[in-house]
Structure 1
């Protein structure tokens, strides 16, 4: 440095000392840098725990919610915005859990209701794809109820009429009721009510059909119509005959004693026929309605058929027939003696009626510890196989003309069937045309 009077002051520092100072400065800077870096890492870590940690927890819980694990909650560590977000999310999770439980409960109840319904329910969307089907529908069409979801309505049911009905419902927007067969050629009949499927603002969503099996109902209606027609015919025929003979007598033929006596015998026979018909109808009505309670007690089947053969022996003698009871020992069953005697009379009387002169009717029993099978056999005209399942129906006759000429009402076997059913027994017919018929009756033995 310059001084007064031209003097110069020189200050010298050892170079090694400068190097040491610079080294100390560098080391100090490095240390400060390391401290700053460490502090930055610490601050970043703390910030990450405070901010990123809850967010990661929130993300994990969201993924759990995607798997319907609604019990998961976010741990709230602060009162700041992150904490508020966590609490809001927990509240949302609780709301979703309650909503999901409510929806699941409704679905379970709906599934239970649909599964327990005897009527089928089928719903399709606007694209004609099945969106709902219950077990009854699956049983009707012999398919799996889950496998048809998402399929085309025709592919799911293979029923052209049902598919067309759903199309008509969607196109018209109106409810339609129709009856149809489950399959072409099938006797199973279903009544289908198809209605438009809409949301709350009446936007069309598809169609829903309720299917009810009415096969038995239609069969009963047919039986009722046949019953009324048969009763009308059975009463009209003798009444017409009686009216004709009475008019003939009133026309001036009363003086001819022989003719009058002949006509009166015919009138008497037709009257007896109407009385028998009415009595059978009353018996059948009482048995079916349950108004005739069973008077259960020990009944000897051998004695029942012995008495029956004695009562009908004159009918058998008139045709030179042999009627044998091959039950030699007492066979005791539990039943109503009066009704079981009616069964025996109907079975043996039918066997005599439909067996030609010189034929044979036999009664035998096959015993087991709990029940006995009574077999009434004849070697008569027999019953064609296609008629065997219907011989126990009211007014059903294999040969209507011959049965009417023999004085039958067409109700005998129907009465037998109902009496046997009341006794919790069973009866069936076996027959070969021209070889004869066997009626097999099974009853419980008395303990």
Structure 2
């Protein structure tokens, strides 16, 4: 039984007990007063009758006559009759001998009677040893009070009756409490059960169990309350579902955004970051949430703009450089967060990583500058020698031939450059379709070496081919693979001094072809290794131009390797040589040949 149910049961039982007790006391008093009133009337009438009989002198002054008259009128032993004269002396007493009795003038009922009034008193009788009721009336002769007659009766019967009534009352009260406790318990249960059910549902709602419902079909106020609780639970369930859906949508948007989002409160502490910000800052989100933005962001410039947005409550956009965990260029939008009251409660920061865009813009700018520079040289040569010929140099056959040869060489160089630019553009846009087939790697290498062999012999270079012991077959595009190998060989031959060597190695690891082109050339400085795959980038510009290269070979190799889902690495020591390593997937099989 719950505390409220116990309290309600005890309260109802207490009220019932109090009402029964008050009613019992009231009726007991009424009954007692009724008994006393009846007894008083009885004693009064008997005393009046005796006073009328004994008022005559021949009776009142003669004790014998007085006793006879009294005994004739009041023969019963239940009533005690006492007659006194006006000085208090007892003339007759139905229970004792008058001569041995003390003076009764001090008795209150006799004092009243001797004064001419009816006296009444209740007290314990020392003579009889019990409570008595006394009623005394005056005895008058010729208008004078000559004595008094008193009638008395024991209170035992009345007391016993009242005691029995109290016993019956207490017994009835006990029985009523027993029966009432059962009835009240069931009544309180019927009242408390709906409240307990409503309380249970309300508690479940606080614990996000919005599907709970009150199962009460009553039509009274409790039923109306249950209906209101059910409606509230249903409404909360719908609202929480919508809130959850909105939160999931927001979380999905934030988690999948490539742009970083940060929310900073008006207290300048970070309250929300998405995964993109974690990548930008190089710190897990749970490590920065709750911290001051200047502490977590580790960028003074970014923090400065956040403070500006918080102070001025204005929306603006700014480009910010950060240097931790790595250098990045960010395009950042700052906007104050305004709540429904129009109060500024924080700042929303959206970060776009434009590092790659800026790098590509720089590459594009460099590309345009390099193309312009590379085109200017052959065009200037062609224009200069053409003008010289037109000015009369063509009359000298030997000079004319030399100039025309130079014009032809520069035109060929210009043609190769334009062709490489177009090929590189097609490769970057993946406009060259791949025709994959089984390619014998050693045959492709041999074919590529044959093309550069004349140039290598003029420089007395030694080209070492991979062994033919394992036959390696690769599922790839033959033309792309040949162009990759040819460009690397041409690059190695061009930058290797006379009497040097070029070595080609092949190996199969984890179903991948590992192909290396190793030369003993001039090498590449470590500071330039990260840029050698850029278009027109040359380590030694003078020697590169003299070699006849366009500056696009390695860029073409890099994009061809990417198109074949491979990887390319370079390792070089300046003055000692360079090693290009290529990993290509698609090894179908390789077999050992017995020699």
> Please, what TM-score do these two structures have when normalized by structure 2?
0.68
Change in Cα spacing, 1:48 to 1:437, as seen in structure 2 (3 Å) is same
Distance 2:525 2:456 in 1: 24
Q: Is the counterpart of residue 337 in structure 1 residue 478 in structure 2?
A: yes
The residue number in structure 1 matching 2:257 is: 117
Deviation at 1:369, TM superposition (A): 7.1
Q: Secondary structure at the match of 1:123?
A: strand
**1:149-298 to 2 correspondences below 5 Å:** 149-183=289-323, 186-200=326-340, 202-298=342-438
Q: Is the counterpart of residue 428 in structure 1 residue 569 in structure 2?
A: yes
Range with greater deviation from structure 2 (28-37 or 265-274):
28-37
Q: Is the counterpart of residue 446 in structure 1 residue 494 in structure 2?
A: no
The residue number in structure 1 matching 2:578 is: 437
Distance 2:480 2:237 in 1: 67
Range with greater deviation from structure 2 (257-266 or 120-129):
257-266
Unaligned stretches of 5+ residues in structure 2: 1-45, 55-68, 79-152, 590-595
CA radius of gyration, larger in: 2
* Superposed CA offset, 1:10-69 (max 9, x none): 451677655533432331232344456557756764664455554455444433332223
The residue number in structure 1 matching 2:276 is: 136
* Superposed CA offset, 1:312-332 (max 9, x none): 222122222222324335533
Q: Is the counterpart of residue 359 in structure 1 residue 500 in structure 2?
A: yes
Distance 2:315 2:460 in 1: 68
Q: Tell me, yes or no, if the aligned pair for 1:138 and 1:144 is still in contact at 8 Å.
A: yes
Distance 1:278 1:408 in 2: 12
Distance 1:200 1:26 in 2: 74
Range with greater deviation from structure 2 (245-254 or 14-23):
14-23
Range with greater deviation from structure 2 (171-180 or 222-231):
171-180
2:440 to 300, 319, 336: 300
Q: Tell me, yes or no, if the aligned pair for 2:281 and 2:324 is still in contact at 8 Å.
A: no
1:21 to 161, 164, 174: 161
Deviation at 1:384, TM superposition (A): 1.9
The residue number in structure 2 matching 1:145 is: 285
**1:92-111 to 2 correspondences below 5 Å:** 92-111=232-251
The residue number in structure 2 matching 1:400 is: 541
Distance 2:195 2:475 in 1: 82
The residue number in structure 1 matching 2:135 is: none
Q: Tell me, yes or no, if the aligned pair for 1:427 and 1:439 is still in contact at 8 Å.
A: yes
Change in Cα spacing, 1:445 to 1:185, as seen in structure 2 (3 Å) is closer
Distance 1:147 1:430 in 2: 39
Change in Cα spacing, 1:263 to 1:39, as seen in structure 2 (3 Å) is same
Q: Secondary structure at the match of 1:99?
A: helix
> Please, what TM-score do these two structures have when normalized by structure 1?
0.89
Q: Tell me, yes or no, if the aligned pair for 1:431 and 1:438 is still in contact at 8 Å.
A: yes
* Superposed CA offset, 1:143-175 (max 9, x none): 332443333222332222222222223333332
Q: Tell me, yes or no, if the aligned pair for 1:198 and 1:206 is still in contact at 8 Å.
A: yes
State the superposition RMSD in angstroms. 2.8
The residue number in structure 2 matching 1:62 is: 202
From the two aligned structures, give the one with the greater strand fraction. 2
Deviation at 1:280, TM superposition (A): 1.0
Deviation at 1:216, TM superposition (A): 2.0
Q: Tell me, yes or no, if the aligned pair for 1:327 and 1:363 is still in contact at 8 Å.
A: no
The residue number in structure 1 matching 2:222 is: 82
* Superposed CA offset, 1:51-102 (max 9, x none): 5554455444433332223333445474333333333233222222222222
Unaligned stretches of 5+ residues in structure 1: none
* Greater RCO (CA < 8 Å, at least 6 residues apart): 1
Distance 1:50 1:310 in 2: 104
Distance 2:214 2:571 in 1: 79
Q: Secondary structure at the match of 1:178?
A: strand
